[in-house]
Structure 1
């Protein structure tokens, strides 16, 4: 089972968003059959079987074992991933385009960038998996506590200059065997913890 899978088909996205089927997927983090998980999700075995067939049809669960019980064959399934992300590719007509209105200070543009990241990396994962090839990626996830808005602004300026110099140093437009790579750098306020929210009289989120 994968740690995370990207859903890029509209039909599979619709299936995964159904509350009952989402509960089944969660229950199938460990292998189970219709009869073994039906009660846990509040369904009859027949209903559980119906939903499992739909999930299997769209590649969200997979058969891991068949057990003979007298004249009955019990099919045991497991979710294909521990968690799922729906790619904007599943809603192609509505997918955000970060090139349409680029704005470094817009939180909504940041969301558009993140959506493109999910779509592109999801497609790359699918291609690499089909070709049985590794996919070279790199990411940094960190957190900075700024003393003031001025410090945050200075940090963003310095980070931008550093990235610009690195890109200029390593970018080779004429490399015969070169391959382009997407570089995205993001900075946004961390979500408040419950204790921080309790201390704050104003829990509104900033747009940018």
Structure 2
């Protein structure tokens, strides 16, 4: 089972975000039969089987094992990943694209950058898996609490200078065996606890 499966097919995305099927996906991270699942979610076995067939045909669930009970064969199904992310690429030409954003300090530009990361890394992750290879990535995630807007501006300036210094040190356009990597830095206020609004102390 994958840790994360990035869905980049529109038809599969529609199947995954259907409320009933999404709930079923959340219930089958461990192998389970259709009969047991139907009892757990309070639906008929026929309805559950219908939705499971759709999930299976789109690669969202798979058979983990089969058990024979008398003359019957019971299938135990499980999700193909612990969690799923829908790639912005399923939206086609209207997907967020940082190349179309002019204000690089805007929230919309940051969202477009994040969307591009999901799209690009998701595609690379899928290809690496198909080739049986490991995809090398680097992620840094931390929280910094600024005393003031002045300190935040100073931090941004110093961080930009340091990144530019490191890029200049290690970047080599002429390296015959080199490979380009995309480096994206993001910063945004944390939502206030229990809400979806920015924390006013970090504005």
TM tier relative to shorter chain = over 0.9
Instruction: Give the number of equivalent residue pairs.
Output: 200
Q: In the aligned structure 1, how far is the partner of 2:68 from the partner of 2:135? A: 40
Give 4+ residue runs of structure 1 displaced > 3 Å after superposition.
Answer: 203-206
Determine whether 1:172 maps to 2:172. Answer: yes
Change (3 A) 1:191 1:205: closer
Task: Report the TM-score when normalising by structure 1.
Answer: 0.91
TM alignment of 1:45-56, pairs within 5 A: 45-56=45-56
Cα separation, 2, equivalents of 1:205 and 1:9: 36
Q: What is the deviation of 1:204?
A: 6.4
Deviates more, 1:100-109 or 1:184-193: 100-109
8 Å CA contact 2:10, 2:91 repeated in 1: yes
Query: Match for residue 144 of structure 1?
Result: 144
C-alpha RMSD of the superposition: 1.6
1:105 aligns with 2:102: no
**Cα pair 1:66 1:74 within 8 Å, conserved:** yes
Q: Where do 5+ consecutive residues of structure 1 fail to align?
A: 198-202
> TM-score under structure 2 normalisation?
0.94
Seen in structure 2, the aligned counterparts of structure 1 residues 99 and 205 have a Cα distance that, compared at 3 Å, is farther
Q: 1:32 aligned to 2:22?
A: no
C-alpha distance in 2 between matches for 1:102 and 1:30: 46
Q: Deviations over 1:91-131 (max 9, x none)?
A: 21221110112433111100000000000000111111111
Any gaps of 5 or more consecutive residues in structure 2? none
Q: Deviations over 1:180-208 (max 9, x none)?
A: 101000111111113xx6xxxxx5678x9
Tell me the alpha carbon deviations over residues 6-26 of structure 1, each in whole angstroms, 9 at most, x when there is no partner: 111101100010011011100
